[in-house]
Amino acid sequence: MFFAGSLLVSAAAAALLAGPGLRRCVAMATDRRPDARLMAAVSVAAALLIAWRAEGALHGVALAAVALVGIAAGWIDGYERRLPDVLLLPVYPVAGALLIGTGEADAMLRAAACAAAGMALYAIGCAAGQVGFGDVKLAGLLGLVLGWAAWQIAVAALVATVVIGGGQAMAVLATGRKDFPYGPAMLAGAAAALALGPW
């Protein structure tokens, strides 16, 4: 119990320390600075979720790396409708190396399959003009770290993203606009699936 409590406190503290850096990253990419309290709240929530649900230390580090770039990329997508390659692409080899470090063949195959399936599904949506190519790359990254734990979590993330994105689409269309960022919905769906997925 003491170890679990210490882990949660450490995760929250690390998230608070990362907050200013994430805000600077978004400001450099967009010339806009997110609200510090909202950034801190999202960062702490992500850190606590990872500390609670990670399948071991290596999975926790991989999830943390994806969360760091995901939070910044999600804000950038919200402001400018783009998910920067400079944030997303470097995390692929980091997460892949951590996955290989587990030495668990089943986890490696499952994670690779979920990443490939996610990219394939979003590539179809991209070809149809429904999502951007940045969403395809984010889908592969999320599939990799979610599929690492269980394929059901990756599937649940896809379903949650459709629900969240659908609600977002209806709200945006009701205001008369036609375009909206899908990255934040993908990240929220992944967080929901990780929180509610199978143990």
Alpha carbon 155 to its chain centroid, in Å, reads 14
Q: What pTM does this model have?
A: 0.93
CB 154 within 8 A of CB 194: no
Q: What is the pLDDT of residue 70?
A: 97
Q: What is the pLDDT of residue 180?
A: 86
CB 124 within 8 A of CB 112: no
Q: Please, what are the averages of pLDDT over each run of 10 residues along the chain (199 residues)?
A: 72 91 94 93 96 93 96 96 96 96 94 97 94 96 95 96 91 82 96 87
* 157 residue type, one letter: A
Residue bearing tokens 């806009």: 32
